Amino acid sequence: MFLRRRDPLPGSEAFTKHALSDPRVDMAALERSFGPLPVTPREQNALWYKMYKSVGSEPAVSQVHRAFLFTRDYACLTLVAFLILGIAGLIQIPSRTTALGFIGLLAVQFLLARRAARTHGVRFVTTVLALKSAG
């Protein structure tokens, strides 16, 4: 969902990108609690995961985590459907226009599901940060 080869996890940009764009996150409180916040993707994800493990049972975190996992899996399924059904559509649908329209709809479905998964992934990261910064 986060189309990066290196460090594709949403926590990899927790402090340098996601926390800065969420008004619920108090960066000063996080720095007081955890010291200087990391800037490398791997270190950001490691610290974020440590924070997540301490608040993972909170209802807000578990709900947004479930939403992220669902949309991530759904996006993966739509990609598989795009590939398999797209090829089948080209072979089985007699009209090229209809087949390309079908493939276009499959592509739109994948793009929307991917965007939803990305949004829920960022929300998952920022919810953890907001809870940790609130105390």
pLDDT digits (tens, 9 = 90+) for 29-77: 999 999 999 999 999 999 999 999 999 999 999 999 999 999 999 999 9
State pLDDT tens for residues 81-126.
999 999 999 999 999 999 999 999 999 999 999 999 999 999 999 9
Could you give the number of structural domains in the chain? 1
Q: Is residue 3 part of a domain?
A: no
Q: Is residue 1 part of a domain?
A: no
Q: Angle, nearest 10°, between helix axes 96-134 and 27-34?
A: 60
Q: Is residue 45 part of a domain?
A: yes
Give CA angle at 10 (7, 11), nearest 5°: 85
Q: Is residue 70 part of a domain?
A: yes
Q: Is residue 61 part of a domain?
A: yes
Q: Is residue 100 part of a domain?
A: yes
Quote the domain boundaries for residue 31: 10-134
Q: Is residue 32 part of a domain?
A: yes
CB 12 within 8 A of CB 46: no
